[in-house]
Amino acid sequence: MTKKILGIAVGALALIYAIVFVVSGRAVFSISNPFQTNTVLQHKKPSELKIGVSLSTLNNPFFISIKQGVTETAKKSGSKVQVYDGQNSTNKQSNDVEDLIQKKVDVLIINPVDSSAITPEVKSANEAGIPVITIDRSSDGGKVLSLVASDSKEGGKMAADFMIKTLGEKAKIAELQGTPGASATRERGAGFDNTAKGHLDIVTKQTANFDRTEGLNTAENIAQAHPDIKGLFSQNDEMALGAVQALKSNPDIVIVGFDGSVDGINAVKKGQMAATVAQKPKEMGKLAVQAAYKYFKGEKVSSQIKSPLELIVADKYK
């Protein structure tokens, strides 16, 4: 009798499992392994999709442009979008992403504050059967459907090549680094440093967290400690713009940024910055949404979608 009841119970559980598995299109627990998830892809039209977006900060024109690319592309196709501002806080971003998971968005587009700190949330999304697309910076763990980004190492190389050509061999320079732990910080730094090695004398590398005010304060300190530097490479335009303010009394210092933000490009045109490695942030946002549409059509999505780079140079250095 007990075996019969047990058999009925197992059969009922299997039936419920099958119904949930097929109908929901979401990840469900496996009977054989309760910690393993299975997902059935449910094809959806763009107009049926709810897109959750978490950006590292919206206090930076670059990421505002990414937001515009996402929202404008989604609007054209009738997709619903919810955008959260991480305010450069790993804790806030983690809470934001968990909230979007609880709201059962169909896809997450994330620009991590920190590539390592975002890993638990990426894994939570994986468990919930929600595909994750990252922009500009990757996640160190969990499964990411696609990374939409420029080749940060190549961009760093472009900046170094320009400074070597402009300043000459063994010129003393400084480097402003981005947020520690961010993949963009590692990759831009690696591309620049590897190319500069043996050709430029990098007297100091200091973190300014991709922030304009921190860039200003850090550049002031660098100028006082190293008054003989001839150039400064900044891993983004915001820090470079802070350095422009800090180094007004020495306009001959060659400042090179990275991003190609509106403010950065304007500073290059005015001759305040020598150059910027320009990304196309609005295009990145567009490409991320298009990747989500491809996924829900059942089409193959590349694990890395590259956005083009361009070195924009001030007239006096052309």
Q: What does the pLDDT look like over 156-203, one tens digit per residue? A: 999 999 999 999 999 999 999 999 989 899 999 999 999 999 999 999
Q: Which residues of 177-216 are buried (b: 16+ CB within 10 A; e: fewer)?
A: bbbebbbbbbbbbebbbebbeebbebebebbbbbbbebbb
Fold of 152-278: Rossmann fold (3.40.50)
CATH topology of domain 46-149+281-307: Rossmann fold (3.40.50)
- Whether residue 20 has pLDDT greater than 80: no
Cα 261 to Cα 257: distance, rounded to the nearest angstrom: 10
Tell me the three state secondary structure of residue 17: helix
Burial of 2 (0-12, 13-18, 19+ CB in 10 A): exposed
Q: Looking at the predicted structure, is the pLDDT value of residue 1 above 80?
A: no
Sheet holding 50-55, edge to edge: 80-85, 50-55, 107-110, 132-135, 146-149, 304-306
pLDDT at residue 32 above 80? no
Q: How confident is the model at residue 42 (pLDDT cuts 50, 70, 90)?
A: confident
The answer to whether 250 and 286 have CB atoms below 8 angstroms apart is no
Q: How does residue 223 score in pLDDT terms, banded at 50, 70 and 90?
A: very high
Residues forming a β-bridge with 55: 85
Distances (CA, A) of 279 to 109, 124, 136, 272, 273: 18, 30, 10, 19, 16
Report the mean per-residue pLDDT for the chain. 90
pLDDT at residue number 40 = 54
Query: How large a percentage of the chain has pLDDT more than 70?
Result: 87
The pLDDT, as a whole number, for residue 101 is 98
Residue 19 has pLDDT above 50, yes or no: no
**Is the distance from CB of 226 to CB of 254 less than 8 angstroms?**
no
pLDDT at 2 over 80: no
In eight-state DSSP terms, residue 146 is E
Average pLDDT over residues 26-35: 37
Where are the domains positioned within the chain? 2-38, 46-149+281-307, 152-278
User: Which residue bears the tokens 């070195």?
Assistant: 311
Fold match between 46-149+281-307 and 152-278?
Answer: yes
- 62 vs 79, residue with greater confidence: 79
Strands 107-110 and 171-177: unpaired
- Rounded to two decimals, what is the model's pTM? 0.74
18: number of Cβ within 10 Å: 11
